Structure 1
Amino acid sequence: MLGLVHVYTGNGKGKTTSALGLALRASGHEMRTLFVQFLKGRESGEVKALKGNKFIDIETFGTGEFFTESKRDLFLEYCR
């Protein structure tokens, strides 16, 4: 089966919910999923809930702060 990549970005709500729904649906069909979150400060409840699912691998990356335009230089340095 062909693997796909979904990327959710932008302001507002619904990105994590959409990604979780897709990952859980795939795991229900015994398909492996990699769930990646960027720039999250601490382990979220969603990540804790997914940890027991053998079909979903989780990776989180971040600085503990959310990206804003005023912190652009800080995040550019972090990415290097």
Structure 2
Amino acid sequence: MEEFRYRVQNKLINLDESVYIPITRAEFAVLKSAFNFILPYILGWHAYANSIKPEDSSRMNNSSSRYGGDFEWNR
């Protein structure tokens, strides 16, 4: 069983406290997946990804498919 540890030091009153939360590997995997999903939103990367124009990417996809696989089938 994995263990999540959080340690807090209060230097004003010279106190050192720790919190231990036991979690299973499956729970850890779910938490890791959730953080990997939400991290781009926290950093604002989704705003940049949404600002890219979709017609630019579709134009590139059409041009590459026209000169790629479709050309081979038309021979």
Both structures adopt the same fold (TM-score exceeding 0.5): no
Q: Could you state the TM-score of these two structures normalised by the residue count of structure 1?
A: 0.22
Higher relative contact order (CA 8 A, sep 6+): 1
Q: Could you state the TM-score of these two structures normalised by the residue count of structure 2?
A: 0.24
Q: Which has the higher strand share?
A: 2
Larger radius of gyration: 2
